[in-house]
Amino acid sequence: MLTVGLTAFALAADASKWDGDNRSAVRLIAGAFVGEDGARIGRAGIEIKLGAGWKMYWRHPGDAGVPPSFDFAGSTNVTDVTVMWPAPQRFTDEGTHLIVYKDRVVLPLRVVPEHAAKPVTLRLKLVYGICEKLCILAEAQSELLLSGDTTTHEPALAAAEARVPRKARIGEGGRLSIHAIQREMGRTGPRIVIDVAAPAAASVDLFAEGPGSDWSLPLPQPISAEGDLRRFSLDLTGVPAGVGTSGAMLRLTATADREAIEVSVPY
């Protein structure tokens, strides 16, 4: 009965029904298809709204928490779905640093059809951690037919896509950049010192991830600010036991107000 209802709604709308409660709710939203290297690529989004005080974890949750898990296996005429991540924010609670989204977030999706001329139906099973005073695991299911036409959700999708960090290199110019990094020995072990360049009035933050989900790097900590340079320190801890670090690359995400970049650096 539920499946029939979802399918009927999918055929009639450019968004699925909300699945959730007053703590959090999830739906799929549709966008227009685009041409990419001669292929027809679908655009869509996972929209999550969070109740007052509730937070959802980013792909790397920080000191604790569970990142979202996506299952699109039940989709029709889909060979690949890429989830994109708008820039998150840091939340600190009694010394625990978390990386989260608040209020409402759209995670853009890039959908590759198996047959470009046939309809695409997305079916999502989502498991995600949310926190207020207590933390719980939430689950949601959504189904949506992607027609490929322009929809009312284009502005929301465009805004979310604009918040996805752009790829950059160390020392690259621009309003926001990772100006320089330096490896050194700190008081508790090796660390990386990272200089982020951004306008002096901007609110700047920095996040770090290892090459795999089993890495649990700490959050970089701000240590100084002078003019347009903010300096952060990243302790090189959280490497999985028995894992070699030779050749390992870390992913740094820097944010400044509404702008964000992503840079790969050697461990």
Neighbours of 126 (CB within 10 A): 21
> Do residues 40 and 145 both lie within one domain?
yes
Q: Indicate the number of domains in the chain.
A: 2
**Distance from C-alpha of 168 to C-alpha of 173, rounded to nearest angstrom:** 9
- The pLDDT tens digits along the chain (267 residues) read 334 444 444 444 799 999 999 999 999 999 999 988 778 899 999 999 999 999 999 999 999 999 999 999 999 999 999 999 999 999 998 889 999 999 999 999 999 999 988 889 999 999 999 999 899 999 999 999 998 888 999 999 999 999 999 999 999 988 999 999 999 998 888 999 999 999 999 999 999 999 988 899 999 999 999 999 999 999 999 888 888 888 899 999 999 999 999 999 998
Which of 97, 129, 162 corresponds to the end of one domain?
A: 162
Report the CATH number that the domain containing residue 220 is assigned in CATH.
2.60.40
> Do residues 143 and 206 both lie within one domain?
no
- Whether residue 19 contacts residue 140, with contact meaning beta carbons closer than 8 Å, is answered with yes
> Do residues 86 and 7 both lie within one domain?
yes
The pTM score is 0.91
Residue with tokens 């989900």: 213
**Domain carrying residue 149:** 2-162
> Do residues 141 and 188 both lie within one domain?
no
Residue with tokens 């089993």: 214
